[in-house]
Amino acid sequence: MNIVVAIKHIPSIADDLPVKGNNVDFDSVDFVLNEFDEQSIEQAVLVKEAVGGTVTVVGVDMIGELDGVLHLALAKGADKAVKITGDDPAADSHQQAKWLAEAIKGMSADMVFAGVQASNDLDGQIGPMIAAHLDMPYIGGVSSVEVAGDSATVNKEFAGGVGAKYSVSLPMVVGVQASTKPPRYAPVSKVRQVAQTATIEKVAPSGDAGSGLTFKKMAPPVVTGHAEMIEGSSKDVAKKIVELLKSKGLA
C-alpha cells in the first residue's frame, strides 16, 4: 500500500492574526501544521500499520520552515518526506493543490490523504482538487479508513450527526476529518534523532493555478458591542439577570 499524505503549513491562530496590506503579515506570524493534517498523518500511519506499505508526506514549504513538521511526521511513522519549495506564503489552496498534484503524480499512490480543510481559508479544496488533477475519485469528511486488498471501507460524516459507511475501490483521495484513533505522541528525542538522520526530498513547484480570487482588503473584525460583566455576590448577580431578562420581555 503506497500512501501519500498531502499537508499544509498555515499561519497559527494561537495569537491575534497580524495584518499587513491586504493579507496576513506572514513575517510576524508562526506557521503550524494544519490540525486536520495531524489527523490525516495518523490515519495514514494506522493504515500502514494494519496492511503494510509506505507513507510519504508531502507539503509546500511556504516560509522555509517545513522541515520541523516533516521531521515530526517521520517520527510519528511516515517513511518519506517531500517538500515543494514554494516559498510563497500567500500561495492559495488552488495553487498548492496544483503543486501537490504535480509532485504526487509520479508517486503511483494507492491512496492520497489530505486534511478535510484548513483553518486559514476553510475552503476544503486541497483534497478535491488534487483528486481532479490526478483524475482520482474523492471522498471527504472521513473519520475512519480500513483497507482490504484494493478496496477500502471508509466512514464519512454528514451534518447533524449522520454517518455513512462506504466501500470504495483504490486508488482514491481521502479528505480526513478525524483519524480512527487520536494522533499519537512523538517524543522529542525521537524527533531530534529523525532531524539528524532523515533526508527530505526537495521538489521544485510545477504548474500554475489560482483561485482567481484577489484579496481586496483584510482587517481584524470590528468590535461592535461589549459584553456587560455583572459583578457582585451570586445572589445579586442572579437578581440582576432576572431583572434584565424581564426588562427585555424574556421572563
**Interface residues toward other proteins, by CB under 8 A:** 12, 14-15, 30, 32, 182, 184-185, 187-192
> Around 26, how many Cα atoms within 13 Å sit in the side-chain half-sphere?
14
Q: How far is the CB of 149 from other proteins (least distance, A)?
A: 27
Residue 78 or 100 having the CB closest to other proteins: 78
CB of 143 to other proteins, least distance (A): 17
Name the amino acid, one letter, at 107. M
Task: Give the integer Cα–Cα distance in Å for 94 and 193.
Answer: 35
- The answer to whether the beta carbons of residues 119 and 13 sit under 8 Å apart is yes
- Indicate the residue among 11 and 140 with the shorter CB distance to other proteins: 11
**Residue closer to other proteins, measured from CB, 75 or 101:** 75
Return the number of the residue (30 or 87) whose C-beta is nearest other proteins.
30
- How far apart CA 203 and CA 84 sit, in angstroms, is 5
The distance of closest approach from Cβ of residue 155 to other proteins in the complex, given in angstroms and rounded to an integer, is 21
CB of 247 to other proteins, least distance (A): 29
The distance of closest approach from Cβ of residue 29 to other proteins in the complex, given in angstroms and rounded to an integer, is 10
Between the two ends of the chain, the Cα-to-Cα distance in Å is: 62
Nearer to other proteins, 15 or 236 (CB): 15
- Give least dist CB 183 to other proteins, A: 9
**Closer residue to other proteins (CB): 149 or 187:** 187
CA–CA gap between residue 70 and residue 147 (Å, rounded): 25
